[in-house]
Chain A
Amino acid sequence: MGDKIIVKNLDLFFDTLQALKSINLRIKTKEILSIIGPANSGKTTFLRTLNRLNELIPYAKLKGEVYLDGKDIYKEDISLPWLRRKVGMVFALPVPLPRTIFENIAYGPKLYGITSKAELTELVEKSLRAAFLWDEVKDRLNESALKLSGGQQQRLCIARTLALEPEVILLDEPCSGLDPISTAKIEEALHELKKEYTIVLVTNNTKQAARVADRVAFFLMGELVEYGQVEQIFTVPKDKRTEDYISGRFG
């Protein structure tokens, strides 16, 4: 299958600090690419360059190119709402908006002009089902989303991203604050989602990467050390540093 995202010679600076060092990476259509690496290795920063969320930081400067379906997303004629709808994002900490469950999911579609109640209802149900949350919340869609448990909130956030009908989903350590059962549910959802979406999953948990990913990229101090098939990375890594990290010698 073809490449969904191509990253070429990507450098990113926060003022003078270089957070990403000439990253070259291809993300294939409908795969789960997992990004692993210790804290401060640039995983999240890299993820946020894929939907241009780093631009919210005024002193972030970027060099290089990122192509989505062959289109350079850092060109001037790219509309940010369009890009962020295509490349959805789920944050490390679940942030439900202070609204009802229904309104949380419908928030994105309403932004780009879907107003028909029937259409929204259908979209909300479809997204919640895909995020494996529907059965737990179907009778209380009009309750505040803040009342959900942490694991449910994170699945709500996934559903909210799915409601955008994106093509790529970026997940930034989505299970970092969750218990093993909630984590298992999210991994189950990811496994299903892979059939339709290209997924980039940042995780601190190498075992999670081994369980769900097709391919793995290892970041260290802003550098992409190596990336390849999950079996290869976890059995015969080419780089000594990768081997040290996944065998638990540091990180």
Chain B
Amino acid sequence: MKIKPAFTEQIVKKILFISTAFTVLILLFIIFYILKNGLSVIDLEFLLTSPKELGRAGGIFPCIIGTILLPLIAIIIATPLGVGTAIYLTEYKREGRLTRIIRFGTECLAGVPSIIFGLFGFVLFVIYLGFGWSILSGGLTLAFMILPTIIRTSEEAIRAIPYSYREVSLSLGGTKWQTITRVVLPSALPGIVTGVILGIGRSVGETAAVIFTAGSSLRVPASLFDSCRTMAVHFYILAREGISMENAYGTAAILIIAILFINLVSYWLMHRFMAKFS
């Protein structure tokens, strides 16, 4: 029996709709479930006080500080390095064996489990360089962890800019660097920002690499050389050790809200910037 193309079309449309609906529903359910269990414990005190009795009572203020500082350090270090690498690979280095090896390497790095990065950070930063369990060690480790993602997405974004834009800029008397900063990067910005946001998301949610390198101290850190605990780690410890499921959900809810907030703000900033250009 032959199936008519029109019939196939109908079926495919339905299947695709169902898979989309399924994905969205699962995501919404997870968010709903966490918010439902977590929102009840969240109040100003939860946000602004330190944990008591290992987190059974009190708030999560030090963890919020840790969650801001660690990804911030990671982004500040990884963005210039990653975007710089991407620019070098696309604009300055001719496509060849070397670029292929570098690209293959970054792809492999992107697939390495985060705990391996944690171990690497522990050996290099905590022990060898003597930074100890600290915000600095953790931030540097996270920077290396998200570097491959930023390189790959920036490279894709830069490569997608039409060659003719570069040709125009050069033919108008622009140097290579002027062409990159005035034409290529502004046009590639949405892609680069996407990579950076992915990086923020990964480092905000990271636990394994952070426990190894930044420790899990519950004190409010006074300097970059102090140990600290991020919200993700706090959540992990609260749930793992059965200290307080209630406060664990509260932490998780704030984590989700924070990631949502970071995404919204970044895209808003980017659209404001892009509006100036086109």
A residues within 8 Å of B by Cβ? 51, 53, 56, 58, 80-82, 84-85, 88-89, 91, 93, 95, 97-99, 107-108, 111-112, 144, 146, 157, 160-161, 164
- Establish whether residues A107 and B278, one from each chain, have CB atoms under 8 Å apart when the complex forms: no
Chain A residues near B174: list those with CB within 8 A. Answer: 81, 108, 111
Q: Which of these binds chain A: B5-13, B98-106, B165-173, B217-225?
A: B165-173
Give the residues from 126 to 180 in chain B that come closer than 8 angstroms, CB to CB, to chain A.
Answer: 162, 164-165, 167-175, 178
Chain B residues near A108: list those with CB within 8 A. Answer: 172-174
- Establish whether residues B169 and A107, one from each chain, have CB atoms under 8 Å apart when the complex forms: yes
A88–B168 Cα distance when bound, in Å, is: 10
- Establish whether residues A146 and B278, one from each chain, have CB atoms under 8 Å apart when the complex forms: yes
The answer to whether residues A97 and B173 also contact, given A111-B178, A146-B278 and a CB cut-off of 8 A, is no
- Establish whether residues B172 and A144, one from each chain, have CB atoms under 8 Å apart when the complex forms: no
Partner of A53, one of B167, B183, B187: B167
- Establish whether residues A164 and B173, one from each chain, have CB atoms under 8 Å apart when the complex forms: yes
A–B pairs, 12, beta carbons within 8 Å? A53-B170, A81-B174, A88-B172, A97-B169, A98-B165, A99-B277, A107-B172, A111-B174, A111-B182, A144-B278, A157-B168, A161-B172
**Quick one: which of A53, A99, A146 has the most chain B CB within 10 A?**
A99
> Which B residue's beta carbon lies closest to that of A89?
B171
- Establish whether residues B168 and A97, one from each chain, have CB atoms under 8 Å apart when the complex forms: yes
The answer to whether residues A53 and B171 also contact, given A93-B164, A97-B183, A98-B187 and a CB cut-off of 8 A, is yes
Partner of A97, one of B165, B170, B175: B165
Render B178-205 as a binary contact track against A, CB cut-off 8 A, 1 for contact: 1000110001000000000000000000
- Establish whether residues B169 and A56, one from each chain, have CB atoms under 8 Å apart when the complex forms: no
- Establish whether residues B94 and A91, one from each chain, have CB atoms under 8 Å apart when the complex forms: no
Partner of B170, one of A56, A112, A144: A56
The answer to whether residues A84 and B164 also contact, given A98-B278, A146-B278 and a CB cut-off of 8 A, is no
The answer to whether residues A82 and B173 also contact, given A95-B164, A144-B278 and a CB cut-off of 8 A, is yes
A81–B169 Cα distance when bound, in Å, is: 10
Chain A residues near B94: list those with CB within 8 A. Answer: 58
Nearest CB of chain B from residue A164's CB, rounded to whole Å: 6
B residues within 8 Å of A by Cβ? 94, 162, 164-165, 167-175, 178, 182-183, 187, 277-278
- Establish whether residues B278 and A56, one from each chain, have CB atoms under 8 Å apart when the complex forms: no
Chain A residues near B175: list those with CB within 8 A. Answer: 80-81
- Establish whether residues B171 and A88, one from each chain, have CB atoms under 8 Å apart when the complex forms: yes
- Establish whether residues B172 and A84, one from each chain, have CB atoms under 8 Å apart when the complex forms: yes
A98–B171 Cα distance when bound, in Å, is: 16
A53–B165 Cα distance when bound, in Å, is: 14
The answer to whether residues A91 and B278 also contact, given A81-B173, A108-B172, A111-B173 and a CB cut-off of 8 A, is no
> Which B residue's beta carbon lies closest to that of A95?
B164
> Which A residue's beta carbon lies closest to that of B278?
A98
Number of A-B contacts (CB under 8 A): 63
Nearest CB of chain A from residue B76's CB, rounded to whole Å: 29
Nearest CB of chain B from residue A247's CB, rounded to whole Å: 35
- Establish whether residues B170 and A84, one from each chain, have CB atoms under 8 Å apart when the complex forms: yes
A82–B175 Cα distance when bound, in Å, is: 10
The 9 A-B residue pairs with the shortest CB-CB distance, nearest first, are: A108-B172, A85-B173, A81-B173, A98-B278, A95-B164, A84-B173, A89-B171, A111-B174, A95-B168
Chain A residues near B169: list those with CB within 8 A. Answer: 97, 107, 111
Chain B residues near A160: list those with CB within 8 A. Answer: 172
Nearest CB of chain A from residue B185's CB, rounded to whole Å: 12
> Which A residue's beta carbon lies closest to that of B166?
A56
A108–B170 Cα distance when bound, in Å, is: 10
Chain B residues near A85: list those with CB within 8 A. Answer: 172-173
A84–B162 Cα distance when bound, in Å, is: 21
Partner of B173, one of A56, A112, A144, A157: A112
Chain B residues near A53: list those with CB within 8 A. Answer: 167, 170-171
**Quick one: which of B169, B172, B182 has the most chain A CB within 10 A?**
B172
Partner of A164, one of B172, B178, B278: B172
- Establish whether residues A51 and B278, one from each chain, have CB atoms under 8 Å apart when the complex forms: no
- Establish whether residues A91 and B173, one from each chain, have CB atoms under 8 Å apart when the complex forms: no
A111–B182 Cα distance when bound, in Å, is: 9
Nearest CB of chain A from residue B164's CB, rounded to whole Å: 4
- Establish whether residues B171 and A84, one from each chain, have CB atoms under 8 Å apart when the complex forms: yes
Nearest CB of chain B from residue A138's CB, rounded to whole Å: 20
> Which B residue's beta carbon lies closest to that of A111?
B174
A164–B172 Cα distance when bound, in Å, is: 7
